[in-house]
Amino acid sequence: MPTIRVAIFGCGFWSRFQLAAWRELPGVEVVALYNRTRSRAEALAAASGIAAVYNDAEALLDAEALDAVDIITDVESHSQFVRLAAERGLTAICQKPLAPTLEEAEATLAVCRAAGTRLIVHENWRWQTPLRELKRQLDAGMIGAPFRARLQFNSSFPVFANQPFLAELEQFILTDVGSHVLDAARFLFGDAQRLYCQTARVNPTIRGEDVATVVLQQGGVTTTCELSYASRLEHERFPETYALIEGAEGSLELGPDYWVRRTTAEGTCARRVPPPRYAWADPAYDLVHASIVPCHADILRDLQGGAPAETRGEDNINTVRLVFAAYESARTGQSIVPRVG
């Protein structure tokens, strides 16, 4: 197969990990970097041995022979860069959240549909090793039909220290972590028919909400998603997601340090399911950084003509709809029926 040529747009905190993860895979090459502030692109290029550096996105797209653009910029610029890629017939790979509003996200997807190009959201959370193990056991029927679940992402991790812009967001935890956890709920149990949400701002120095609780009705499963950066707990291990899933024949629990426990009438079976370790990963984020590699691999298969990526825009828009339905529910105090499809 020909080598897939990718350009990275945005050279901030996450870009070096995206780039390192691409380099774990054969058949793909990152050939150019764009950043509005050229010096940041030059610094990443020098560290990575990439020759082509730009501070003009259109100039990059006009000069380089590409298959895809990996967009790792601020959310307000996502639609602009997706449009530029679509106009040139390129696949756009975009960080979550896809856009700052549902309307803009829908419009961005529509641009790619009209152009006949792929839009893939880089939603790596569902690719975490322990979450994939939960899905495997669920699909194998090991606890029977699930009827209730609880997903928890609660910690006091100082996320604003290395991403200070998050403190300025009017909408914070639902767009940031909620995009991930709600997508994980969809990955495990399917689309939601109804949701209810409550939010709070505990940290007085930030603008948006730092606590949210979302209850989803997903077919026969009632799922509670807990999100918090204001919780100080005995067993908090950022960035781990904990889970408890109850089924007709038993339960599955994902607890601290990647332990998965399955309890049935025969007893409890416990197994640790850690992620792979990469030398380039930040130790504080290694679970999340490790999940970038299989997410990239899924995208690469799509780019090479294989099965569509799990998180193509047509799928991820349903996660975006859940995020903004949660904000509507928190604002109105009402349960919401999110649109699907």
**Residues 162 and 221 both lie in one domain:** yes
Segment 20-73, tens digit of pLDDT = 999 999 999 999 999 999 999 999 999 999 999 999 999 999 999 999 999 999
**Residues 104 and 116 both lie in one domain:** yes
Across the range 295-307, mean pLDDT stands at 97
Q: How many domains does the chain have?
A: 2
**Binning pLDDT at 50, 70 and 90, where does residue 339 land?**
very high
Segment 272-281, tens digit of pLDDT = 999 999 999 9
**Residues 144 and 100 both lie in one domain:** no
DSSP 270-325: EEE-PPP--TTS-GGGHHHHHHHHHHHHHHHHHHTTSSPPTTBHHHHHHHHHHHHH
**Residues 44 and 168 both lie in one domain:** no
Query: Hey, which residues does 253 pair with through a beta bridge?
Result: 244, 261
H/E element, 80: helix 78-87
Segment 192-235, tens digit of pLDDT = 999 999 999 999 999 999 999 999 999 999 999 999 999 999 98
Task: Provide the percentage of residues in the chain whose pLDDT is more than 90.
Answer: 96
| Nearest-angstrom CA–CA distance, 269 and 262 | 5
User: What pLDDT, on a 0 to 100 scale, did the predictor assign at position 31?
Assistant: 98
Specify the residue for token string 């209730």. 148
Specify the residue for token string 């009705």. 217
Mean pLDDT of the chain: 97
Q: Is residue 318 part of a domain?
A: yes
User: What pLDDT, on a 0 to 100 scale, did the predictor assign at position 163?
Assistant: 85
DSSP 101-162: SHHHHHHHHHHHHHHT--EEEE--GGGSHHHHHHHHHHHTTTT-SEEEEEEEEE----TTTT
**Residues 175 and 320 both lie in one domain:** yes
Q: What is the CATH number of the domain that holds 167?
A: 3.30.360.10
Domain that holds residue 83: 4-122
Task: Provide the percentage of residues in the chain whose pLDDT is more than 70.
Answer: 100
Q: Is residue 338 part of a domain?
A: no
**Residues 137 and 270 both lie in one domain:** yes
Which residues touch 22 (CB under 8 Å, ≥6 apart)? 6, 28, 30, 70, 296
Do 340 and 119 contact (CB within 8 A), yes or no? no
**Residues 99 and 148 both lie in one domain:** no
**Residues 49 and 188 both lie in one domain:** no
Q: Is residue 302 part of a domain?
A: no
User: What pLDDT, on a 0 to 100 scale, did the predictor assign at position 236?
Assistant: 86
Q: Is residue 93 part of a domain?
A: yes
Boundary residue ending a domain (122, 156, 184): 122
**Residues 166 and 58 both lie in one domain:** no
Q: What is the CATH number of the domain that holds 41?
A: 3.40.50.720
**Binning pLDDT at 50, 70 and 90, where does residue 266 land?**
very high
**Residues 105 and 144 both lie in one domain:** no
